[in-house]
Amino acid sequence: MLRIFHNTSYDFIKYWRHAAILTIAFIVVGLGVLFVRGARYSIEFTGGTMMQVEFAKAPNPDAIRATVDAAGFGGSTIQQFGSPTEYTINAQNRGGTVSTLATDSTVKQIGAALHAKFGDTTQVRVNQSQYISPQVGAELRRNAIIAVAISFLVTLIYLAIRFEWRFGVAAVVATAHDIFTTLAFLAMLRLEVSLTVVAAILTVIGYSLNDTIIIFDRVREDLRKQRKESLRDTLNRAINETLPRSVLTHATTLAATLALLFFAGEVIRPFSWIMAFGIFTGTFSSIYVAGALLLWIEAKFPRAVEGQGSAAAARRRAVAP
Protein backbone atom coordinates (compact mmCIF):
# COMPACT_ATOMS: atom_id res chain seq x y z
CA MET A 1 0.00 0.00 0.00
CA LEU A 2 1.29 3.48 -0.90
CA ARG A 3 2.25 5.44 2.21
CA ILE A 4 3.47 9.02 2.02
CA PHE A 5 4.20 11.56 4.73
CA HIS A 6 4.07 8.78 7.31
CA ASN A 7 5.15 9.58 10.89
CA THR A 8 5.84 13.23 10.13
CA SER A 9 6.23 15.83 12.87
CA TYR A 10 5.89 19.20 11.13
CA ASP A 11 5.07 22.19 13.30
CA PHE A 12 2.20 23.60 11.23
CA ILE A 13 0.87 25.89 13.95
CA LYS A 14 4.22 27.69 14.16
CA TYR A 15 3.39 29.75 11.08
CA TRP A 16 -0.18 30.74 11.98
CA ARG A 17 0.64 34.46 12.25
CA HIS A 18 2.16 34.56 8.76
CA ALA A 19 -0.85 32.65 7.44
CA ALA A 20 -3.27 35.04 9.15
CA ILE A 21 -1.60 38.11 7.60
CA LEU A 22 -1.60 36.45 4.17
CA THR A 23 -5.24 35.43 4.20
CA ILE A 24 -6.49 38.75 5.65
CA ALA A 25 -4.60 40.66 2.96
CA PHE A 26 -6.02 38.38 0.26
CA ILE A 27 -9.60 38.85 1.50
CA VAL A 28 -9.26 42.62 1.84
CA VAL A 29 -7.82 43.02 -1.68
CA GLY A 30 -10.38 40.68 -3.23
CA LEU A 31 -13.39 42.22 -1.53
CA GLY A 32 -12.02 45.66 -2.37
CA VAL A 33 -11.97 44.67 -6.04
CA LEU A 34 -15.51 43.33 -5.67
CA PHE A 35 -16.67 46.59 -4.07
CA VAL A 36 -15.06 48.80 -6.73
CA ARG A 37 -15.91 46.78 -9.82
CA GLY A 38 -19.03 45.02 -8.62
CA ALA A 39 -20.00 41.44 -9.32
CA ARG A 40 -20.54 40.06 -12.81
CA TYR A 41 -23.92 38.32 -12.70
CA SER A 42 -24.90 35.84 -15.36
CA ILE A 43 -28.07 36.16 -17.36
CA GLU A 44 -29.67 33.67 -14.97
CA PHE A 45 -29.63 36.40 -12.31
CA THR A 46 -30.18 39.53 -14.37
CA GLY A 47 -32.60 38.44 -17.10
CA GLY A 48 -32.07 38.80 -20.83
CA THR A 49 -31.69 36.62 -23.92
CA MET A 50 -29.83 33.35 -24.32
CA MET A 51 -29.03 32.09 -27.82
CA GLN A 52 -27.50 28.84 -29.04
CA VAL A 53 -25.80 29.25 -32.39
CA GLU A 54 -24.03 26.73 -34.62
CA PHE A 55 -21.37 27.47 -37.21
CA ALA A 56 -20.42 25.44 -40.27
CA LYS A 57 -16.75 25.78 -39.32
CA ALA A 58 -15.18 26.38 -35.93
CA PRO A 59 -15.00 30.19 -35.56
CA ASN A 60 -12.65 32.42 -33.65
CA PRO A 61 -14.39 33.28 -30.34
CA ASP A 62 -12.89 36.78 -30.45
CA ALA A 63 -14.52 37.33 -33.86
CA ILE A 64 -17.90 36.31 -32.41
CA ARG A 65 -17.45 38.66 -29.46
CA ALA A 66 -16.43 41.56 -31.72
CA THR A 67 -19.47 40.96 -33.94
CA VAL A 68 -21.89 40.87 -31.00
CA ASP A 69 -20.30 44.01 -29.50
CA ALA A 70 -20.58 45.80 -32.84
CA ALA A 71 -24.29 44.91 -32.94
CA GLY A 72 -24.74 46.93 -29.76
CA PHE A 73 -24.69 44.16 -27.15
CA GLY A 74 -21.39 44.78 -25.40
CA GLY A 75 -20.56 42.74 -22.33
CA SER A 76 -22.39 39.64 -23.58
CA THR A 77 -21.17 36.26 -22.37
CA ILE A 78 -19.98 34.01 -25.21
CA GLN A 79 -19.08 30.41 -24.42
CA GLN A 80 -18.34 27.29 -26.38
CA PHE A 81 -21.11 24.78 -25.89
CA GLY A 82 -20.60 21.14 -26.86
CA SER A 83 -18.64 20.88 -30.11
CA PRO A 84 -16.14 23.54 -31.32
CA THR A 85 -18.79 24.85 -33.73
CA GLU A 86 -21.50 25.46 -31.12
CA TYR A 87 -21.67 28.54 -28.90
CA THR A 88 -24.05 30.16 -26.44
CA ILE A 89 -24.55 33.93 -26.40
CA ASN A 90 -26.04 35.51 -23.29
CA ALA A 91 -26.98 39.12 -24.01
CA GLN A 92 -28.67 41.90 -22.11
CA ASN A 93 -31.51 43.39 -24.15
CA ARG A 94 -31.04 46.97 -25.27
CA GLY A 95 -32.31 49.58 -22.86
CA GLY A 96 -32.55 46.98 -20.11
CA THR A 97 -35.98 45.94 -21.40
CA VAL A 98 -36.69 42.27 -20.71
CA SER A 99 -39.69 40.87 -22.54
CA THR A 100 -40.47 38.36 -25.23
CA LEU A 101 -40.66 41.15 -27.82
CA ALA A 102 -37.30 42.54 -26.73
CA THR A 103 -35.86 39.03 -26.85
CA ASP A 104 -37.10 38.51 -30.42
CA SER A 105 -35.53 41.82 -31.42
CA THR A 106 -32.22 40.88 -29.75
CA VAL A 107 -32.14 37.51 -31.51
CA LYS A 108 -32.82 39.13 -34.89
CA GLN A 109 -30.18 41.82 -34.45
CA ILE A 110 -27.45 39.46 -33.25
CA GLY A 111 -28.42 36.90 -35.89
CA ALA A 112 -28.21 39.52 -38.64
CA ALA A 113 -24.78 40.64 -37.42
CA LEU A 114 -23.51 37.05 -37.34
CA HIS A 115 -24.80 36.40 -40.86
CA ALA A 116 -23.13 39.56 -42.13
CA LYS A 117 -19.83 38.43 -40.61
CA PHE A 118 -19.81 34.66 -41.12
CA GLY A 119 -22.26 34.06 -43.99
CA ASP A 120 -25.86 32.99 -44.53
CA THR A 121 -27.83 30.29 -42.70
CA THR A 122 -25.68 27.58 -44.27
CA GLN A 123 -22.69 29.00 -42.38
CA VAL A 124 -24.28 30.03 -39.08
CA ARG A 125 -27.74 29.46 -37.67
CA VAL A 126 -29.56 30.12 -34.44
CA ASN A 127 -30.70 26.76 -33.06
CA GLN A 128 -32.47 28.04 -29.98
CA SER A 129 -33.25 31.25 -28.10
CA GLN A 130 -34.64 31.71 -24.63
CA TYR A 131 -36.11 34.61 -22.69
CA ILE A 132 -35.22 34.92 -18.99
CA SER A 133 -37.21 37.43 -16.98
CA PRO A 134 -35.63 39.62 -14.25
CA GLN A 135 -38.17 38.24 -11.79
CA VAL A 136 -36.73 34.77 -12.31
CA GLY A 137 -33.23 36.19 -11.89
CA ALA A 138 -34.17 37.88 -8.61
CA GLU A 139 -35.72 34.66 -7.36
CA LEU A 140 -32.59 32.71 -8.28
CA ARG A 141 -30.39 35.21 -6.41
CA ARG A 142 -32.62 34.94 -3.37
CA ASN A 143 -32.59 31.15 -3.53
CA ALA A 144 -28.80 31.14 -3.85
CA ILE A 145 -28.46 33.23 -0.67
CA ILE A 146 -30.95 30.97 1.12
CA ALA A 147 -29.00 27.89 0.00
CA VAL A 148 -25.77 29.26 1.51
CA ALA A 149 -27.59 30.27 4.73
CA ILE A 150 -29.18 26.82 5.05
CA SER A 151 -25.81 25.16 4.54
CA PHE A 152 -24.45 27.25 7.43
CA LEU A 153 -27.42 26.37 9.65
CA VAL A 154 -27.07 22.66 8.96
CA THR A 155 -23.34 22.96 9.64
CA LEU A 156 -24.02 24.58 13.03
CA ILE A 157 -26.55 21.91 13.99
CA TYR A 158 -24.20 19.11 12.94
CA LEU A 159 -21.22 20.56 14.82
CA ALA A 160 -23.33 21.22 17.92
CA ILE A 161 -24.26 17.53 18.00
CA ARG A 162 -20.87 16.08 17.12
CA PHE A 163 -18.44 18.40 18.94
CA GLU A 164 -18.34 20.69 21.93
CA TRP A 165 -18.82 24.41 21.27
CA ARG A 166 -15.09 25.25 21.07
CA PHE A 167 -14.60 22.97 18.08
CA GLY A 168 -17.87 24.09 16.54
CA VAL A 169 -17.05 27.80 16.65
CA ALA A 170 -13.60 27.21 15.16
CA ALA A 171 -15.06 25.10 12.33
CA VAL A 172 -17.80 27.61 11.50
CA VAL A 173 -15.35 30.54 11.39
CA ALA A 174 -13.07 28.49 9.13
CA THR A 175 -16.02 27.82 6.83
CA ALA A 176 -16.87 31.53 6.74
CA HIS A 177 -13.23 32.20 5.88
CA ASP A 178 -13.54 29.88 2.89
CA ILE A 179 -16.58 31.76 1.61
CA PHE A 180 -14.84 35.14 1.87
CA THR A 181 -11.62 33.93 0.24
CA THR A 182 -13.62 32.30 -2.55
CA LEU A 183 -15.55 35.51 -3.16
CA ALA A 184 -12.24 37.40 -3.22
CA PHE A 185 -10.83 34.90 -5.73
CA LEU A 186 -13.98 35.19 -7.85
CA ALA A 187 -13.66 38.98 -7.88
CA MET A 188 -9.96 38.93 -8.80
CA LEU A 189 -10.55 36.61 -11.76
CA ARG A 190 -13.74 38.48 -12.74
CA LEU A 191 -15.63 35.22 -12.93
CA GLU A 192 -19.31 35.47 -13.73
CA VAL A 193 -21.63 34.69 -10.83
CA SER A 194 -23.99 31.97 -12.04
CA LEU A 195 -25.87 29.02 -10.62
CA THR A 196 -22.83 26.90 -11.48
CA VAL A 197 -20.61 29.16 -9.37
CA VAL A 198 -23.08 29.02 -6.46
CA ALA A 199 -23.01 25.21 -6.69
CA ALA A 200 -19.21 25.33 -6.61
CA ILE A 201 -19.21 27.54 -3.50
CA LEU A 202 -21.58 25.15 -1.71
CA THR A 203 -19.34 22.24 -2.71
CA VAL A 204 -16.29 24.05 -1.35
CA ILE A 205 -18.09 24.62 1.97
CA GLY A 206 -18.80 20.91 2.32
CA TYR A 207 -15.32 19.90 1.20
CA SER A 208 -13.57 22.26 3.62
CA LEU A 209 -15.83 21.34 6.52
CA ASN A 210 -15.13 17.65 5.95
CA ASP A 211 -11.38 18.31 6.12
CA THR A 212 -11.75 20.28 9.36
CA ILE A 213 -13.92 17.61 10.96
CA ILE A 214 -11.39 14.88 10.16
CA ILE A 215 -8.62 16.83 11.91
CA PHE A 216 -10.84 17.73 14.87
CA ASP A 217 -11.94 14.11 15.21
CA ARG A 218 -8.32 13.09 15.57
CA VAL A 219 -7.73 15.90 18.09
CA ARG A 220 -10.66 14.66 20.14
CA GLU A 221 -9.36 11.07 20.05
CA ASP A 222 -5.89 12.19 21.14
CA LEU A 223 -7.33 14.29 23.96
CA ARG A 224 -9.19 11.24 25.26
CA LYS A 225 -5.87 9.39 25.47
CA GLN A 226 -4.85 12.02 28.05
CA ARG A 227 -1.31 12.42 26.79
CA LYS A 228 0.87 14.80 28.79
CA GLU A 229 1.10 17.42 26.08
CA SER A 230 -0.41 20.81 25.36
CA LEU A 231 -3.36 21.26 23.01
CA ARG A 232 -0.97 22.87 20.53
CA ASP A 233 1.12 19.69 20.41
CA THR A 234 -2.04 17.60 20.19
CA LEU A 235 -3.31 19.68 17.28
CA ASN A 236 0.02 19.40 15.45
CA ARG A 237 -0.01 15.65 16.07
CA ALA A 238 -3.54 15.37 14.64
CA ILE A 239 -2.62 17.32 11.49
CA ASN A 240 0.45 15.16 10.95
CA GLU A 241 -1.49 11.94 11.55
CA THR A 242 -4.11 12.91 8.96
CA LEU A 243 -1.54 14.32 6.51
CA PRO A 244 -1.17 11.16 4.36
CA ARG A 245 -4.93 10.93 3.90
CA SER A 246 -5.19 14.65 3.19
CA VAL A 247 -2.43 14.66 0.56
CA LEU A 248 -3.90 11.70 -1.34
CA THR A 249 -7.46 13.05 -1.18
CA HIS A 250 -6.53 16.58 -2.23
CA ALA A 251 -4.22 15.36 -5.01
CA THR A 252 -6.85 13.13 -6.61
CA THR A 253 -9.58 15.76 -6.25
CA LEU A 254 -7.31 18.42 -7.73
CA ALA A 255 -6.39 16.15 -10.65
CA ALA A 256 -10.07 15.68 -11.51
CA THR A 257 -10.73 19.40 -11.11
CA LEU A 258 -7.82 20.37 -13.36
CA ALA A 259 -9.06 17.93 -15.99
CA LEU A 260 -12.40 19.76 -15.97
CA LEU A 261 -10.65 23.12 -16.00
CA PHE A 262 -8.52 22.42 -19.07
CA PHE A 263 -10.66 20.03 -21.10
CA ALA A 264 -14.35 20.42 -20.17
CA GLY A 265 -14.98 23.71 -21.99
CA GLU A 266 -16.11 27.19 -21.06
CA VAL A 267 -19.47 26.25 -19.57
CA ILE A 268 -17.98 24.28 -16.67
CA ARG A 269 -14.78 26.34 -16.35
CA PRO A 270 -16.00 28.76 -13.61
CA PHE A 271 -17.03 25.75 -11.51
CA SER A 272 -13.58 24.22 -12.03
CA TRP A 273 -11.78 27.42 -11.07
CA ILE A 274 -13.76 27.72 -7.82
CA MET A 275 -13.25 24.06 -6.96
CA ALA A 276 -9.50 24.18 -7.66
CA PHE A 277 -9.14 27.22 -5.42
CA GLY A 278 -11.47 25.66 -2.84
CA ILE A 279 -9.13 22.70 -2.38
CA PHE A 280 -6.32 25.05 -1.37
CA THR A 281 -8.36 27.42 0.79
CA GLY A 282 -10.19 24.54 2.48
CA THR A 283 -6.92 22.87 3.45
CA PHE A 284 -5.46 26.20 4.56
CA SER A 285 -8.45 27.07 6.76
CA SER A 286 -8.58 23.64 8.38
CA ILE A 287 -5.04 24.13 9.69
CA TYR A 288 -4.37 27.84 10.09
CA VAL A 289 -7.87 29.17 10.78
CA ALA A 290 -9.75 26.40 12.57
CA GLY A 291 -6.66 25.11 14.38
CA ALA A 292 -5.31 28.49 15.47
CA LEU A 293 -8.76 29.68 16.54
CA LEU A 294 -9.31 26.52 18.57
CA LEU A 295 -6.09 27.24 20.47
CA TRP A 296 -7.15 30.83 21.11
CA ILE A 297 -10.59 29.76 22.39
CA GLU A 298 -9.02 27.12 24.60
CA ALA A 299 -6.64 29.71 26.06
CA LYS A 300 -9.50 32.11 26.81
CA PHE A 301 -11.98 29.47 28.01
CA PRO A 302 -9.97 26.50 29.32
CA ARG A 303 -11.89 23.34 29.93
CA ALA A 304 -11.73 21.29 33.10
CA VAL A 305 -10.00 18.01 32.32
CA GLU A 306 -11.39 15.24 34.48
CA GLY A 307 -8.93 13.21 36.47
CA GLN A 308 -5.80 15.17 35.54
CA GLY A 309 -5.60 17.63 38.43
CA SER A 310 -4.41 21.20 38.56
CA ALA A 311 -1.16 20.51 36.69
CA ALA A 312 -3.04 19.24 33.65
CA ALA A 313 -5.46 22.15 33.85
CA ALA A 314 -2.49 24.53 33.85
CA ARG A 315 -1.11 22.83 30.74
CA ARG A 316 -4.46 23.24 29.01
CA ARG A 317 -4.46 26.95 29.79
CA ALA A 318 -0.99 27.39 28.32
CA VAL A 319 -2.01 26.63 24.75
CA ALA A 320 -2.00 30.04 23.13
CA PRO A 321 -0.32 29.78 19.71
| pLDDT for res 311 | 43
pLDDT at 102: 61
Question: What does the alpha-carbon distance between residue 179 and residue 289 come to, in Å, rounded to a whole number?
Answer: 13
Q: With a cut of 80, say whether residue 185 has pLDDT above it.
A: yes
Contact criterion met (CB below 8 Å) for 205 and 178: yes
Domains of the chain: 12-39+137-317 (1.20.1640.10), 48-132 (3.30.70.3400)
Rounded to whole angstroms, the Cα distance separating 41 from 298 reads: 42
pLDDT at 101: 67
pLDDT at 309: 44
pLDDT digits (tens, 9 = 90+) for 256-301: 888 888 877 667 788 889 988 988 888 888 888 888 888 888 888 7
Mean pLDDT of the chain: 78
The C-alpha angle 153, 154, 156, rounded to 5 degrees, equals 65
pLDDT top residue among 13 and 138 = 13
What's the rounded Cα separation, in Å, for the pair 211 and 280? 11
Report the C-alpha gap between 56 and 118 in whole angstroms: 9
Residue 313 near residue 304, CB atoms below 8 Å: yes
